[in-house]
């Protein structure tokens, strides 16, 4: 049980340091990943930046994810869910474009005119406050891969053991502080899992090179 995201970030930073992980930049998924990512970036003495993603929703039930898309259009689609619900390719593509556009808008709100970091040939750590289904993490990892990163690490305080194992196909390394056998939801493993506001999330971004 973590006290809050700051406590989780410190514990995750310890875990990352213990693995002797090298990184050029830490990419956090806003908003909840930023407090966690700040601690990891500070421990590694590297810059903190962001990576934006949006879930793709089921027709008539947008809260039910059929996948996720990152700001560059990279996406992961849960084929089993798509098949089970008889969703056609046209809808999936339309939802991918919508989700990617929403992610781009989120990125612009945080970054403004500041250019994205060049990930070509670089070791990168992607951080979030936890992993449940892994949909958003998959889309983010695919974007980082498509950007040419040399080595990709996914680091989270807590996650579903099954999802974390599945994500090993998307990242070179997966680091988690806790992998509870009875995992139900990310927030269940925090005493304080209050929503992070945009203003608070931005406060963790120094936008300075280390």
Whichever domain contains 93, its CATH number is: 3.30.1310.20
The model's pTM is 0.91
Cross-strand bridge partners of residue 127: 28, 155
- Is the Cβ–Cβ distance between 96 and 74 less than 8 Å? no
pLDDT tens digits for 4-54? 999 999 999 999 999 999 999 999 999 999 999 999 999 999 999 999 999
Q: Give the residue from 199, 46, 27 showing the smallest Cα distance to 128.
A: 27
In a domain, 208, yes or no: no
* Shared-domain flag, residues 97 and 126: no
Residues 141, 153: Cα–Cα separation, whole Å? 9
Rounded mean pLDDT of 96-100? Answer: 95
Q: Which domain holds residue 60?
A: 54-109
CB burial class (10 A; 0-12, 13-18, 19+) of residue 10? middle
Whole-number pLDDT of residue 1: 84
pLDDT tens digits for 109-157? 888 888 889 999 999 999 999 999 999 999 999 999 999 999 999 999 9
In a domain, 176, yes or no: yes
Where among 109, 124, 153 does a domain terminate?
109
* Shared-domain flag, residues 34 and 132: yes
Q: What is the mean pLDDT of the chain?
A: 93
Q: How many CB atoms lie within 10 A of CB 7?
A: 18
* Tally of domains in the chain: 2
């Amino acid at each position: 049980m973590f006290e809050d995201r700051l406590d989780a970030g410190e514990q995750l930073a310890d875990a990352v340091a213990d693995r002797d992980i090298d990184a050029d930049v830490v990419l956090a998924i806003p908003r909840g990943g930023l407090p966690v990512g700040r601690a990891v970036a500070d421990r590694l003495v590297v810059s903190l930046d962001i990576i934006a993603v949006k879930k793709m929703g089921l027709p008539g039930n947008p809260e039910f994810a059929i996948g996720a898309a990152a700001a560059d259009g990279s996406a992961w689609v849960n084929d089993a869910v798509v098949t089970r619900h008889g969703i056609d390719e046209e809808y999936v593509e339309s939802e991918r474009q919508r989700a990617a556009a929403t992610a781009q808008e989120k990125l612009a709100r945080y970054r403004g005119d500041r250019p994205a970091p060049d990930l070509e040939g670089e070791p990168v750590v992607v951080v979030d406050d936890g992993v449940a289904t892994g949909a958003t993490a998959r889309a983010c990892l695919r974007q980082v891969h498509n950007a040419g990163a040399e080595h990709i690490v996914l680091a989270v305080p807590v996650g579903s053991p099954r999802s974390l194992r599945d994500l090993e196909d998307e990242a070179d390394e997966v680091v988690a502080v806790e992998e509870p056998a009875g995992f139900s939801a990310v927030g269940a493993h925090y005493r304080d899992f209050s929503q992070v506001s945009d203003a608070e999330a931005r406060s963790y971004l120094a936008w300075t090179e280390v």
